[in-house]
Amino acid sequence: MNLRRAVFPVAGFGTRFLPASKAIPKELIPLVDKPAVQYVVEEAVAAGIDTAIFVTAEGKSALEDHFDRSLRLEAFLEARGKVALLEEMRRLGSLVEVVTVRQKEALGLGHAVLQGARAVGDEAFAVLLGDDVIIGHPPAIGRLAQLHAATGAPVVAVMEVSREEIRHYGCVAGEPVEEGVWRVHDLVEKPHPDEAPSNLAVIGRYIITPQVVQELKDTPFDRGGEIQLTEGLRRAAQRAPLYACTFPGERFDAGNKLDFLRATVTLGLRHPELGEGLRRHLEELLA
C-alpha cells in the first residue's frame, strides 16, 4: 500500500529562534522566499503524500492558513495582472489536504506522533520534522517509503556524522543489510561519543507502523515527563524488524541558527532570480 498520510509535529515554541519565533511559528520563518515547512511538505507531496496532518498548539493557526487558499489575495493578484504569483498561490493552496490536531501539552515527540496517529487510523504513515530540510530529488521520504513497501517494517532515516556530533542525535545500532540499509537492533538517544554504538545519526524522517504506535502507547514518560519517539522505536525493534536507511539530497538543520544561515545562502545561490546578485555580494565581502 502506498503511503498517503504524513504527520508533521509543529507544536513546539521554537525557543532556539526567539525572539523571531515569539509571534511567528518557527516553521514559517523563510529560507529565501519559502518558509522552511513548505520545503518539507513539498518533499512529502513529491513522494505521493496527499494528506498533511499538522500536530499544532496554541498560536500555530498561521501554518494551516499558509497551505489554505486565500481568495482575497488571489483576487488582488489577478486584478493587478500578477499571473505568476497568482498561479503559485493557487498551487500552494491546493498542494495538499491539511488536517490539524492539537497537542495540548508539550509532552515530547513520541506524544506528538501519537496525537497525529489518531487522525491516520490503522495504517502506516510518514513523520517529517520541519527542522530537517532536505533538498534533493528523488524526495528523501520516498526512499524510506520504498524500503517500507519492500519490508512492511518501520523505517528511520540516518546519516553518518562524526563521533563528536553523535551526542546531539539519536543513534542506531544495527547490522548492514545492503548498501545504505541496516537492520536496527537498538537505538540510543544522544549517547556520549565514547559509548555510541555507531556514527549513524537518526534525522527527522520516519515511517511509523501501527505496531510502533502501540509501543508508543505503552512507553512510559521519561524523567523529563515526555514520551520519546526513540524509546518507542527501540521497544518496537526488540519485537519485530525495524530498518534504517540513508537518503538522497542535502540536509539542513533549520532549527540551528548557523545551519539555517548556511541553508539560506546555499538556496539563495541556487535561486534563478537572486543567485547571481547574492554571489556577487558574497564575493565582495570576501575580497
Give per-residue pLDDT as tens, 55-97. 999 889 999 999 999 999 999 999 999 999 999 999 999 999 9
* 138 and 9 within one domain: yes
Position 150 scores a pLDDT of 96
* 205 and 106 within one domain: yes
**Is pLDDT above 90 for 34?**
yes
* 277 and 155 within one domain: no
* 172 and 267 within one domain: no
Mean pLDDT of the chain: 94
Identify the DSSP state of 12. Answer: S
* 150 and 246 within one domain: yes
**Is pLDDT above 80 for 41?**
yes
pLDDT-derived band at 218 (thresholds 50, 70, 90) equals: very high
pTM of the model as a whole: 0.94
For residues 43 and 141, is the Cβ–Cβ distance under 8 A? yes
* 72 and 175 within one domain: yes
192: domain CATH number is: 3.90.550.10
For residues 251 and 132, is the Cβ–Cβ distance under 8 A? yes
* 111 and 93 within one domain: yes
Q: What is the pLDDT of residues 222-279, one digit of tens each?
A: 988 999 999 999 999 999 999 999 999 999 999 899 999 999 999 999 999 999 999 9
Position 13 scores a pLDDT of 86
Position 132 scores a pLDDT of 93
Give the cell for residue 145.
Answer: 517509503
Q: Which domain holds residue 63?
A: 5-255
Position 83 scores a pLDDT of 96
**Is pLDDT above 90 for 14?**
no
pLDDT-derived band at 166 (thresholds 50, 70, 90) equals: very high
- For the chain, what is the domain count? 2
Instruction: Work out the angle at residue 97's Cα, subtended by the Cα atoms of residues 155 and 263, and round it to the nearest 5 degrees.
Output: 60
Rounded to an integer, the average pLDDT of 162-190 is 93
Position 157 scores a pLDDT of 97
Which backbone phi and psi does 19 adopt, to 5 degrees? Answer: -85, 0
pLDDT-derived band at 213 (thresholds 50, 70, 90) equals: very high
Question: Which is it for the CA torsion 191, 194, 195, 196, positive or negative?
Answer: positive
Helix, coil or strand: residue 143: helix
* 248 and 133 within one domain: yes
* 189 and 231 within one domain: yes
| Helix residue ranges, H only, the chain | 36-46, 61-66, 71-79, 83-93, 109-117, 140-151, 210-218, 229-237, 257-270, 275-286
Least confident of 21-30, 88-97, 146-155: 21-30
**Is pLDDT above 70 for 1?**
no
Position 287 scores a pLDDT of 87
Question: Which is it for the CA torsion 235, 153, 173, 141, positive or negative?
Answer: negative
For residues 246 and 143, give the distance between their C-alpha atoms in angstroms, rounded to a whole number: 8
* 268 and 206 within one domain: no
- Beta partners for residue 187, in sequence order: 172
Rounded to an integer, the average pLDDT of 172-192 is 94
